[in-house]
Amino acid sequence: MSRIRLLGVVLWLCCWLVVTADAQVDEMKYKDPKQPVAVRVKDLLSRMTLEEKIGQMTQIDRSVANANVMKNSFIGSVLSGGGSEPLPKATAQDWVNMINEFQKGSLASRLGIPMMYGIDAVHGHNNVYNATIFPHNVGLGCTRDPDLARRIGAATALEIRATGIPYAFAPCIAVCRDPRWGRCYESYSEDPKIVREMTEIIPGLQGDIPPGARKGVPYVGGKTKVAACAKHFVGDGGTTKGLNENNAVVDWHTLMSLHMPAYIDSIIKGVSTVMASYSSWNGVKMHANRDLITGYLKNTLKFKGFVISDWQGIDKITTPPGSNYTYSVQASIEAGVDMVMVPYEFEDFIKDLTLLVKNNIIPMDRIDDAVERILVVKFTMGLFENPLADFSLVNELGSQAHRDLAREAVRKSLVLLKNGKNQSAQLLPLPKKARKILVAGTHADNLGYQCGGWTIKWQGFIGNGDTSGTTILSAINSTVDPSTEVVFRENPDAGFVKSNNFEYAIVVVGEPPYAETAGDSTALTILDPGPNIINNVCGAVKCVVVTVTGRPVVIEPYLSSIDALVAAWLPGSEGQGVADVLFGDYGFTGKLARTWFKSVDQLPMNVGDPHYDPLFPYGFGLTSESVRDLVTRSTSTAEFVRACIVTIMATLLTSLYLIG
């Protein structure tokens, strides 16, 4: 009997454990997608230890991440820094496999909170081999086309998701007020109005916010969209002399009227995250500016997403960077930074923040606020339901449809600054059929120069081997008539040009690739031997000069010898868009979104300044019709003239008949 009684007890215990386990699962509201996001966040937050919360606030580089680190340190996010990839020329499948390995580690942790992988995708999915590289923002601002920005956002989101990534550190909504700044090409314009309009890229990246959504609440519309990041909060484009990471010395009114408006638009459009700037405002580092991050961004603007630091951004609160790391952790978290892009020494960050909380220096409610914001974004984007990526979107990477869109963006971003030495001698559009033409210049056949910084590597690349695309030279070759002989010489001497009887020449020159501080420049000159190439070629034959730059550069000394001048900015991978307009398949429509100076001595100089005396003013841009439109108009005119002649003749004949 005792054995039977014992067996009954065991069976009862088993049943009780099953029922209890089921009840606990039922009570885990954070795992139930039918529950409102707020309920899920509250439930999950109540279950988390301090260690798990601080883990969620930590973002590390992929080079120090692995499944065990993710599981044991409860890491909330991983990123690829500029050029950080699974392996050289990694495929979309390589990216998906790497990211899923990290994610499996996160899902194996006690609460199974998925990590969020982030990457810089500032002009397309620019770190990834074979991705579509769109024009940098400096060119897109010249299109004055918010719908184009939106479509670029949607295409970029698809390519990012193709590699298993749900989070993009874009867009940059800086208002660059001085082209000497090395990040000026990441800015749409010197005019906040244009920057505000181009925040339409955010619903492209994230999807349209639902009707009636609360202001400031982040939104990501499913597996084909990504969380966006408005950066760099705030005033990064207004530093003294355009020095990167420096001090913006402006009053409150200027900060609000020039640098803040695009953030207001971004928040209204549901942007998920905001990145703090390396720069300072009136001497206060933005990563430590509680009045602006917590006081204005979170409390006044009602931003409900999370604030992320820039790469080692909190280290730079002190001078020299990292000299008092514990203070930097305290100052940034108290200011309102929610997630810290560490990116390497994450154990130190976790240790310091844990001690600051345990010693009651940083209150627990500040930690809870940060983690709540991070979880809101993760739940909103569906990361708990779909934590692992698959291969269903891999064909979106570098797709023809996206390359066609990039080509359209190139066409619309080109600005025609000069066309002929007088109105009666216009050079553009160029004839496709010619006996022999010259293509010259350092940037004519160099995809790396054409794409600029933040392409494959942080500082960009040089040459044609690091990714796929169409150089301007190859675009010219595919556009001209088969009978036209195209001669390419990167740096021809004047004698060569004179002796070859070219009908015309195309000279493509510009800046080398650069990013951030490496691009800061007080000279703003074209890369040597660019000026000599212009002089040698344009002194001997009719020429169009195409500048490939991240900003206006010194061009005034050469302008008189140039027949036609085109600003192509940094057009990206689709150089065919340049040829489309040079040869008249499409007309020029771009307008300068920033002032083109005569001399660097004038800088800073923006539209509306009392000393405004530009070479080409803000808003300038000659327009032209496509050859097709010109032919159509000419045909229409000819038909009209013929009709008039017929009418006149008929009238005369009728009159003569009646008189006779």
Q: Which residues are marked as active site?
A: 310, 516
Q: Could you count the other beta carbons within 10 Å of the beta carbon of residue 168?
A: 25
How far apart, in Å, are the Cα atoms of 534 and each of 530, 562, 563?
Answer: 6, 8, 11
SS3 614: coil
User: What is the Cα–Cα distance from 20 to 94, expressed in whole angstroms?
Assistant: 42
SS (H, E, C) 127-179: CCCCCCECCCHHHHHHHCCHHHHHHHHHHHHHHHHHCCCCEECCCECCCCCCC
DSSP string, 183-234: TGGG-S-SSHHHHHHHTTHHHHHH-PPPTTPPTT-----STT--B-EEEEET
Q: Could you count the other beta carbons within 10 Å of the beta carbon of residue 638?
A: 10
The verdict on whether omega for the bond into residue 529 sits within 30 degrees of 0, i.e. cis, is yes
SS3 606: coil
Supply the DSSP symbol for 513. P
User: What is the Cα–Cα distance from 629 to 551, expressed in whole angstroms?
Assistant: 31
Supply the DSSP symbol for 391. S
For helices 400-413 and 146-162, angle between their N-to-C axes, nearest 10 degrees? 150
Q: Could you count the other beta carbons within 10 Å of the beta carbon of residue 38?
A: 11
Those residues whose C-beta lies under 8 Å from the C-beta of residue 45, and which sit 6 or more positions away, are 53, 368, 371, 372, 375
Read off φ and ψ for residue 305, nearest 5 degrees: -80, -160
Those residues whose C-beta lies under 8 Å from the C-beta of residue 398, and which sit 6 or more positions away, are 130, 131, 132, 159, 468
Query: Is residue 653 classed exposed, middle or buried when 0-12, 13-18 and 19+ CB atoms within 10 A define those classes?
Result: exposed
Sign of CA dihedral 280, 284, 288, 292: negative
User: What is the Cα–Cα distance from 187 to 208, expressed in whole angstroms?
Assistant: 23
Yes or no: say if 481 and 432 are a contact pair by the CB < 8 Å rule: yes
User: What is the Cα–Cα distance from 159 to 570, expressed in whole angstroms?
Assistant: 20
DSSP string, 18-30: HHHHHHHHHH-GG
Residue entry with tokens 């202001």: 215
Of 160, 176, 180, which Cα lies nearest the Cα of 228?
160
SS3 76: coil
User: What is the Cα–Cα distance from 493 to 510, expressed in whole angstroms?
Assistant: 18
Yes or no: say if 308 and 341 are a contact pair by the CB < 8 Å rule: yes
Of 590, 147, 225, which Cα lies nearest the Cα of 405?
147
User: What is the Cα–Cα distance from 190 to 376, expressed in whole angstroms?
Assistant: 34
Supply the DSSP symbol for 339. B
Express the helix, strand and coil content of the chain in percent, nearest 5 each: 45, 10, 45
